[in-house]
Structure 1
Amino acid sequence: MSSWRDFPMPELLVSSARGWLGTPEAERTAAAPKPSSTVMLLREASSGEGVEVFVLRRASSMPFAPGMIAFPGGGVDARDADPDVPWAGPSPQEWAGRLGTEEAVARELVIAAAREVFEECGVLLAGPDAGSVAADLTDLSWGRERAALLDRRQSFGEMLTRLDLVLRTDLLALRAHWTTPLCEPRRYDTRFFAARMPQGQVADDLSSEAERVEWATPQALLRADEEGREILLPPTRVMVEQLALVGDLDAWLDRASEVRRVMPWPVEHSDRLWMRAPLDADGNGLRAGVTT
């Protein structure tokens, strides 16, 4: 089943959307979207049923989506173009096929995903070899490594090389591709990855970009959104809805998934603004030619 779906417009976005809709189409301009990656860290729920996902509430000082629930992630930067990053798992060429990009862009998106999740919550998707993952990151030296990444004294590849570690790209599963609406002044072209939380590691709350972090069930996040206690932007909500359907985490991560881009746009009806997105039952963009 495929359809258009309308999401309530968060109040924070209403002004820019109204300005866009009130501008003659020929005079509208749009910012170029910045490539970015985000990672849904997952584990089995403590109840024994379903999964939990690691989320953060973005700090109110953040220029994009302040105060909203998000997954760890951020924009690609120049450091992520390093072709010498120690690499294990699907190659950049294989990732290019999955992501529908050139090989260099695929490399950047995958490295950005791993770098951001380490910078933001201290989870490292890397290990000594292609069959293992770093398990104990409690030593204070890891905090210094994160600080050196954040202030750009080192790149992710330089860190891995010096510590004799390899990026485990096989731990990442691609699950979605969303682009910020044209009406927004800050725009991102974001790939959503998923990964099982590495055994022995701990996701922390040290990120300056977050007011609060937690492990939550998808059901709890959806209730909080519906009750107005939290705000989920459309891509976050759709991903959480998909996570609510997961029974076997490993099977879901191993499942091959076709990903098609989604880009919402603002519409006005029923005396309010909405964000409209073309979605199929799996949370993907509609196939070419589908207009239902």
Structure 2
Amino acid sequence: MTTPPAPFDPGAVPIREAATVALIRDARVGGGVEVFLQHRVPTMQFAAGMSVFPGGGVEPRDYRGTRAWRGPESRWWAGRFAIGEERAAAAVRGVARELFEETGVLLAEPETEPEPTPSGQPGHAERRALDAGEGDLDGLLAQHGLVLSAHLLRPWDRWTTPLGPPRRYDTLFFVAALPEGAEPDAVTSEARAAEWIRAEDAALAGTLGHLGMLRPTLHVVSDLATAANVGEVMEWPRTIAPGGN
């Protein structure tokens, strides 16, 4: 006689650490800011078919990093998100890694001025390797004489998946200004397409149901819709609820 499977227990679902980033630039037409949205493939285990920001799980390799970055130290990030310093540092590295893996945008700059190392910028092969779990962000940056540009990031929000779904995440939301000369792409197996869209238009489309969005994504784009430009976004003071929304 076959033993029936145990009933699903929502309370037993582990809450995983995650980080995501709203990549923004000044709108080309109409004022305000544009945000880079990915439209996920319908086969994803989480947020299938939804319009989302680049991001993903914070991994053990993100915790192993020790390389200094340019921008606020881990204690500052920890205070903004109401988390420990180790997790804060891992999230900064993790969100930068995910952004590079999913869009090709690397938040990094030469370690020494004025010229970068002769090895140049990381290419598609290194991006694919990182996405496949090979190596880590610190090693990649060290190889190319680069440092993480954490000053281009801002802490924005924190959301925890409510009880019920089979996957739950405690997600730290960042905003990042698009580095000069960079351009994101949609070369990722997780998205069927991606686009720049004015935050105001994205918020309206999400509210009307023309774009499928989880509540946190819609909340962030609605906030960004009120900004006049990227500079204003990067200067906004943020109060993030401890423990997430």
Scaled by the length of structure 2, what TM-score is found?
0.89
| TM-fit CA distance, 1:205 | 1.1
| TM-fit CA distance, 1:131 | 8.4
Change (3 A) 1:41 1:130: farther
Matches within 5 A, 1:32-51: 32-51=14-33
What amino acid maps onto 2:200 in structure 1? Answer: Q
Task: Name 2:238's counterpart in structure 1.
Answer: 257
Q: Which runs of 4+ in 1 moved over 4 A?
A: none
Given candidates 141, 150, 156, the residue that maps to 2:137 is 156
- Provide the C-alpha distance between the structure 2 equivalents of 1:223 and 1:248, rounded to a whole number of angstroms: 18
Matches within 5 A, 1:134-149: 142-149=123-130
Is the contact made by 1:222 and 1:240 (CA closer than 8 Å) also made in structure 2?
Answer: yes
| TM-fit CA distance, 1:183 | 1.0
Is the contact made by 1:92 and 1:107 (CA closer than 8 Å) also made in structure 2?
Answer: yes
- Provide the C-alpha distance between the structure 1 equivalents of 2:211 and 2:74, rounded to a whole number of angstroms: 37
Change (3 A) 1:219 1:107: same
What amino acid maps onto 1:184 in structure 2? Answer: P
| TM-fit CA distance, 1:88 | 1.8
- Unmatched 5+ stretches in structure 1: 1-18, 21-26, 264-284, 286-292
SS in 2 for 1:56: strand
Question: Please, what is the CA RMSD of the aligned residues?
Answer: 2.4
- Provide the C-alpha distance between the structure 2 equivalents of 1:60 and 1:28, rounded to a whole number of angstroms: 23
Scaled by the length of structure 1, what TM-score is found?
0.75
Task: Name 1:91's counterpart in structure 2.
Answer: 73
| TM-fit CA distance, 1:103 | 1.2
Given candidates 213, 218, 222, the residue that maps to 2:194 is 213
- Provide the C-alpha distance between the structure 1 equivalents of 2:10 and 2:41, rounded to a whole number of angstroms: 30
Task: Name 1:239's counterpart in structure 2.
Answer: 220
Is the contact made by 2:54 and 2:102 (CA closer than 8 Å) also made in structure 1?
Answer: yes
Task: Name 1:272's counterpart in structure 2.
Answer: none
- 1:171 aligns to 2:183 (yes or no): no
| TM-fit CA distance, 1:145 | 1.1
Task: Name 1:269's counterpart in structure 2.
Answer: none
Is the contact made by 2:141 and 2:147 (CA closer than 8 Å) also made in structure 1?
Answer: yes
Change (3 A) 1:239 1:130: farther
What amino acid maps onto 1:214 in structure 2? Answer: E
Task: Name 1:55's counterpart in structure 2.
Answer: 37
| TM-fit CA distance, 1:47 | 1.4
Is the contact made by 1:172 and 1:193 (CA closer than 8 Å) also made in structure 2?
Answer: yes
- Provide the C-alpha distance between the structure 1 equivalents of 2:73 and 2:35, rounded to a whole number of angstroms: 27
Alignment deviations for residues 189-233 of structure 1 (CA, whole Å, 9 cap, x no partner): 001100111110110110110011000012222332344332111
| TM-fit CA distance, 1:66 | 0.5
Change (3 A) 1:154 1:201: same
Identity of aligned residues (%): 37
Task: Name 1:120's counterpart in structure 2.
Answer: 102
